[in-house]
């Protein structure tokens, strides 16, 4: 499919600078793109490539000032990175709209239902009373357990396993290999040193416009619900334990682990490989640095780092002081020698 510059500008609310009729059919990095491709410039480090790129169209910031002539048609927008992301989303949406129908073999229970324009890939399994909304894309080898509800415009990538009673909102994306609704890690210690399994009879509830990366695991609640609220974005290889609540528009980077019954507020940012203990709260807008070990609640808006995690600014001061320790040790030794000399002279 061909998209002229004028049409692209309308989609991203931009202004064409150059040939408004030049068309593109694909995307490319600014240093590698060729004729018929669209690219963007957001990072100043890549500015030199703008003057040599073979891309037909380049999206740039409205405020960007050219240092020399360019061959590409420019589309000026308030934020080039956001505009490029919008175009990628539109392109992906168009490609996915072409994917409809039910491939065989697939198992769909007699009590299951689905909306218009869905795609259900080969070897997918839809259990009893499953409900799929319209325009959903269920890729091959997806398992959806009994009594699960999936909203409109959702994409469930290959190999995802969604256990029974899960509730998923609209425009949710779950990437390959993730497991939603497996049992929470609940075991009661016994007098003889063994552990008795605590049945996990709750579920998982996922809000609208949530994205969950590949091979993430979200455990069902012991009772009640594990909640992933609207707009949250979870990276690959994340563990969310039973009865956790993840707030609106919170982002969690890869390999983070969140223990049971912890409540994470709205707009929280959690770095990769962070570990968070159970039964604590992270206030709205809190920030957890990568590889931090959070052992107690964090106030709203506060940033922490380290293990155990503590105030980010204080941690930076401590690190700065630690770097000076060799110099301080040398000065102490010099002072000790001076004091020893002065004392010997008095004697």
Q: What is the pLDDT of residues 266-275, one digit of tens each?
A: 999 999 999 9
Q: What is the pLDDT of residues 288-306, one digit of tens each?
A: 999 999 999 999 999 999 9
Q: What's residue 261's pLDDT?
A: 97
Between CA 34 and CA 305 the distance in angstroms is 44
Statement: residue 282 has pLDDT above 80: yes
Residue whose tokens read 């019954």? 261
% pLDDT > 70, the chain: 100
What is the SS3 assignment for 26? strand
Between CA 287 and CA 289 the distance in angstroms is 6
| Cα dihedral 150, 151, 152, 156 in deg (nearest 10) | -30
Nearest in space to 152 (alpha carbons), one of 118, 121, 178, 123: 118
Q: How confident is the model at residue 347 (pLDDT cuts 50, 70, 90)?
A: low
Q: What's residue 321's pLDDT?
A: 82
Can you tell me the mean pLDDT for 16-44?
A: 95
Q: At what angle do helices 5-12 and 80-97 cross, to 10 degrees?
A: 110
Domain boundaries, the chain: 3-97, 101-313, 314-346
CATH of 101-313, one of 2.100.10.30, 1.10.3720.10, 3.40.50.300, 2.160.10.10: 2.160.10.10
> What residues act catalytically?
242
**Taking the CB of residue 1, how many other CB atoms lie within 10 A of it?**
9
End-to-end CA distance of the chain: 96
Q: What DSSP character marks residue 158?
A: T
CB-side neighbour CA atoms (13 Å) of 58 = 28
DSSP 84-142: HHHHHHHHHHHHHHT--EE-SS-EE-TT-EE-TT-EE-TT-EE-TT-EE-TT-EE-TT-
Q: What is the pLDDT of residues 117-144, one digit of tens each?
A: 999 999 999 999 999 999 999 999 999 9
> Same fold for the domain at 3-97 and the one at 101-313?
no
The torsion angles phi and psi of 125, rounded to 5 degrees, stand at: -130, 120
CB-side neighbour CA atoms (13 Å) of 175 = 12
Q: What is the pLDDT of residues 167-205, one digit of tens each?
A: 999 999 999 999 999 999 999 999 999 999 999 999 999
Nearest in space to 82 (alpha carbons), one of 55, 59, 111, 48: 59
Q: What's residue 341's pLDDT?
A: 85
What architecture is domain 3-97?
3-Layer(aba) Sandwich (3.40)
């Amino acid at each position: 499919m061909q998209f002229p510059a004028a049409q692209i500008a309308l989609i991203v609310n931009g202004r064409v600078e150059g040939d408004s009729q030049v068309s593109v059919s694909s995307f490319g990095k600014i240093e590698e793109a060729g004729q018929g491709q669209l690219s963007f410039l957001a990072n100043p480090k890549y500015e030199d490539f703008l003057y040599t790129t073979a891309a037909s169209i380049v999206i740039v910031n409205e405020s960007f000032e050219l240092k020399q002539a360019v061959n590409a048609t420019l589309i000026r927008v308030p934020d080039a990175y956001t505009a490029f992301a919008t175009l990628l989303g539109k392109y992906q949406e168009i490609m996915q709209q072409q994917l409809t129908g039910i491939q065989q073999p697939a198992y769909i229970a007699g009590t299951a239902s689905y909306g218009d324009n869905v795609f259900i890939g080969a070897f997918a399994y839809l259990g009893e009373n499953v409900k799929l909304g319209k325009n959903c894309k269920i890729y091959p080898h997806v398992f959806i357990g009994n009594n699960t509800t999936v909203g409109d415009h959702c994409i469930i990538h290959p190999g995802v396993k969604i256990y029974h009673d899960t509730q998923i909102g609209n425009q949710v994306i779950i990437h390959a290999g993730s497991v939603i609704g497996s049992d929470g890690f609940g075991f009661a210690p016994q007098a003889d040193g063994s552990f008795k399994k605590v049945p996990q009879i709750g579920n998982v509830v996922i809000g609208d416009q949530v994205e969950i990366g590949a091979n993430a695991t979200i455990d069902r609640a012991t009772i009640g619900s594990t909640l992933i609220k609207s707009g949250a974005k979870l990276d690959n290889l994340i563990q969310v334990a039973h009865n956790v609540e993840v707030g609106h528009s919170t982002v969690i980077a890869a390999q983070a682990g969140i223990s049971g019954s912890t409540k994470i507020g709205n707009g929280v940012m959690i770095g990769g490989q962070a570990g968070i203990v159970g039964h604590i709260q992270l206030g709205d807008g809190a920030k957890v640095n990568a590889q931090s070990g959070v052992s107690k609640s964090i106030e709203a808006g506060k940033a922490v780092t380290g293990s155990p995690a503590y105030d980010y600014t204080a941690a930076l001061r401590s690190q700065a002081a630690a770097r000076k320790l060799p110099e301080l040790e040398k000065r102490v030794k010099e002072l000790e020698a001076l004091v020893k000399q002065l004392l010997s002279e008095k004697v």
